[in-house]
Chain A
């Protein structure tokens, strides 16, 4: 009974925030189609020269590219990869960022100083350039691109969580918990962390949007994910050459989807941050 009431309340709240609702709706649509549609569509890698550069039509919703691959099918399969990559980058950056930031904030002193200077060091490079260099060093593969982009985003979480921890640990309830005998690890994980993590969760949704942009951007430059993998950035890069010859549809759909996907995450993040702050 209680659960249903609070669920009702949550829905009512959601309805009062059209942007949040829009973000959630777009994302849900993307995820559902990314999960289900590939089972019904053409193989995104199968080529057919006979139908190369077929303009958008009912049989090929977004048209076909120069190898006769179905762009709609490729876009859907790319959505699978991009959203998964975006989310996992956001989560792993948050995971490591929170651990590091919590350590810095709770331990303090020299440990804090070292961590924060290192964080500054990473932040000194623009995230995109850092990822570019890292991928060049550790090599190409979806996984390695994920790592490279994650490293670039970790410092944001470190700073956010540390600031929040410094704020929380001065509050009486932390002293109260310490006074009844809770150990330092328990204090950090069960008392300080739950109260400090809110803004990081919001940051994670924003980072998910950014990392979709970054990964696609890297792919566009030919770093990281390579053709013929179906990935939005790769597809835009491939299609970019065709625009001059009049085949505008080859890069339009994937480019548009990059924008919409990262926008969906930001709609959610912006609304949530207003809610929490």
Chain B
């Protein structure tokens, strides 16, 4: 299989709160190919959302990006001096977790989408209003003319999410970040939104980063999966490998905890065990001496990278 060209390349991204340098994200590196749908999974607090906020340049004031580079189509987004992320809407757009909160309650649907078009596609007011209707029907909303005159509270959650996707698409992004876009929606709507995301990818050729803690939806939608744990990227490979033969102990436990409805095995030896080493070491069933050092994120083969001493020892 030919490797698609890289659209997003993240290298050594670290994010810290306050004086800490990398307690939120530690040296995260991965790439996203053109038209790929990459799932970003991890438990609560693993840094999934912080990673997406960092990419969008939306980190809260107290949380800083301390190191690393983010490149989209070879263009660096991180300013070297200030470490601020400067993105344009046509590089990365975002679909938010709660569609109701992501729409301005006092603005009509049509004008919100039209505004996005006006800013990003250089259209006049008239043109953007016409084009907004097209976008609304593209994301599968029936009777776009009626809907464009409505306010967000008059729409259902699923419809709102479609509008949010339309707004993001109006930016013509290279990368679409979807931060748990279906958490607030019921299962049938979830499936529809997944279909929509896939259709959007096929139509516009953008790559999608799908953030979720729900492995079932990740397995349904994504082609590649990246596993985060406490700010470290543990493993990244194709969906099939993650679910069938992952090599990182955490990924294995994570998958098995879902497939057999078991709890993730807790072997807690205190959170400061190996405070400078692998962040999963304190729960890891296969922990060894060298885990006191942070494992490098190494390639096993073309589609499989992992940061684990145990897994790397086995493979080499």
Chain A residues with a Cβ under 8 A of chain B? 171-173, 175-182, 190-191, 194-195
Query: Please, how many angstroms separate the alpha-carbon atoms of A172 and B49 in the complex?
Result: 13
How many CB-defined contacts (below 8 Å) exist between A and B? Answer: 60
Q: Determine which of A175, A182, A194, A195 lies in contact with B96 in the assembled complex, contact meaning CB atoms within 8 Å.
A: A175
CB neighbours (8 Å) of B94 from chain A are 175-176, 179
The 9 A-B residue pairs whose C-beta atoms are closest, nearest first, are: A194-B106, A181-B119, A180-B116, A172-B101, A172-B102, A176-B102, A181-B89, A172-B96, A173-B104
Query: Please, how many angstroms separate the alpha-carbon atoms of A191 and B129 in the complex?
Result: 19
Please give the distance in Å from A13's CB to the nearest CB on chain B.
Answer: 17
B51-95 to A contact mask, C-beta < 8 Å, 1/0: 000001010000000000000000000000000000011000110
* Known A175-B96, A176-B94, A180-B167; contact A191-B119, beta-carbon cutoff 8 A: no
Q: Once the chains bind, are A195 and B98 in contact (CB under 8 Å)?
A: no
B103-144 to A contact mask, C-beta < 8 Å, 1/0: 111110000100110011000000000000000000000000
Q: Determine which of B58, B101, B105, B120 lies in contact with A180 in the assembled complex, contact meaning CB atoms within 8 Å.
A: B120
CB neighbours (8 Å) of A191 from chain B are 104, 107
Nearest chain A residue, comparing its CB with the CB of B61: A108
Query: Please, how many angstroms separate the alpha-carbon atoms of A178 and B116 in the complex?
Result: 10
CB neighbours (8 Å) of A176 from chain B are 94, 96, 102-103, 164, 167
Determine whether B225 belongs to the interface, using a CB cutoff of 8 Å to chain A.
Answer: no
Query: Please, how many angstroms separate the alpha-carbon atoms of A195 and B58 in the complex?
Result: 21
Query: Please, how many angstroms separate the alpha-carbon atoms of A218 and B36 in the complex?
Result: 72
What range describes how many residues of B lie at the interface? 20 to 34
Determine whether B27 belongs to the interface, using a CB cutoff of 8 Å to chain A.
Answer: no
**Interface residues in B147-197 (C-beta closer than 8 Å to A):** 164, 167-168, 170-171
CB neighbours (8 Å) of B232 from chain A are none
Query: Please, how many angstroms separate the alpha-carbon atoms of A195 and B102 in the complex?
Result: 13
Cβ contacts A to B, 21 pairs, < 8 Å: A173-B101, A173-B103, A173-B105, A175-B94, A175-B96, A176-B96, A176-B167, A177-B104, A179-B58, A180-B119, A180-B170, A180-B171, A181-B119, A181-B171, A182-B115, A182-B119, A191-B104, A191-B107, A194-B107, A195-B104, A195-B106
CB neighbours (8 Å) of A180 from chain B are 89, 93, 115-116, 119-120, 167-168, 170-171
Please give the distance in Å from B72's CB to the nearest CB on chain A.
Answer: 15
CB neighbours (8 Å) of A172 from chain B are 96-98, 101-102
Query: Please, how many angstroms separate the alpha-carbon atoms of A63 and B105 in the complex?
Result: 54
CB neighbours (8 Å) of B119 from chain A are 180-182
Chain B residues with a Cβ under 8 A of chain A? 56, 58, 88-89, 93-94, 96-98, 101-107, 112, 115-116, 119-120, 164, 167-168, 170-171
Please give the distance in Å from B250's CB to the nearest CB on chain A.
Answer: 30
Query: Please, how many angstroms separate the alpha-carbon atoms of A173 and B95 in the complex?
Result: 11
Query: Please, how many angstroms separate the alpha-carbon atoms of A177 and B97 in the complex?
Result: 15
Query: Please, how many angstroms separate the alpha-carbon atoms of A1 and B97 in the complex?
Result: 37
Query: Please, how many angstroms separate the alpha-carbon atoms of A177 and B112 in the complex?
Result: 8
CB neighbours (8 Å) of B88 from chain A are 181
Query: Please, how many angstroms separate the alpha-carbon atoms of A257 and B58 in the complex?
Result: 55
Please give the distance in Å from A251's CB to the nearest CB on chain B.
Answer: 47
* Known A172-B96, A191-B107; contact A179-B89, beta-carbon cutoff 8 A: yes
Q: Once the chains bind, are A171 and B120 in contact (CB under 8 Å)?
A: no
Query: Please, how many angstroms separate the alpha-carbon atoms of A173 and B120 in the complex?
Result: 18
Question: Which of B94, B104, B107 gathers most chain A CB within 10 Å?
Answer: B104
Q: Determine which of A171, A179, A195 lies in contact with B56 in the assembled complex, contact meaning CB atoms within 8 Å.
A: A179
Query: Please, how many angstroms separate the alpha-carbon atoms of A190 and B114 in the complex?
Result: 14
With A173-B103, A182-B115 given, name 16 new contacts (CB 8 A): A172-B98, A173-B104, A173-B105, A176-B96, A176-B102, A177-B104, A177-B115, A179-B89, A179-B93, A179-B94, A179-B168, A179-B171, A180-B120, A180-B168, A180-B170, A181-B116
Query: Please, how many angstroms separate the alpha-carbon atoms of A210 and B105 in the complex?
Result: 32
CB neighbours (8 Å) of A177 from chain B are 104, 112, 115
Q: Once the chains bind, are A173 and B115 in contact (CB under 8 Å)?
A: no
Please give the distance in Å from B84's CB to the nearest CB on chain A.
Answer: 14
Please give the distance in Å from A183's CB to the nearest CB on chain B.
Answer: 9
Q: Once the chains bind, are A181 and B105 in contact (CB under 8 Å)?
A: no
CB neighbours (8 Å) of B167 from chain A are 176, 180
Please give the distance in Å from B297's CB to the nearest CB on chain A.
Answer: 29
Nearest chain B residue, comparing its CB with the CB of A174: B104
Query: Please, how many angstroms separate the alpha-carbon atoms of A180 and B171 in the complex?
Result: 6
CB neighbours (8 Å) of A190 from chain B are 107
Nearest chain B residue, comparing its CB with the CB of A109: B61
Please give the distance in Å from B314's CB to the nearest CB on chain A.
Answer: 43
Please give the distance in Å from A2's CB to the nearest CB on chain B.
Answer: 10
Please give the distance in Å from A109's CB to the nearest CB on chain B.
Answer: 9
Query: Please, how many angstroms separate the alpha-carbon atoms of A177 and B98 in the complex?
Result: 14
Q: Once the chains bind, are B120 and A181 in contact (CB under 8 Å)?
A: yes
* Known A179-B94, A180-B167; contact A173-B89, beta-carbon cutoff 8 A: no
Query: Please, how many angstroms separate the alpha-carbon atoms of A178 and B168 in the complex?
Result: 11
CB neighbours (8 Å) of B96 from chain A are 172, 175-176
CB neighbours (8 Å) of B164 from chain A are 176
Query: Please, how many angstroms separate the alpha-carbon atoms of A180 and B132 in the complex?
Result: 14
Nearest chain A residue, comparing its CB with the CB of B167: A180
Nearest chain A residue, comparing its CB with the CB of B89: A181
Please give the distance in Å from A118's CB to the nearest CB on chain B.
Answer: 23
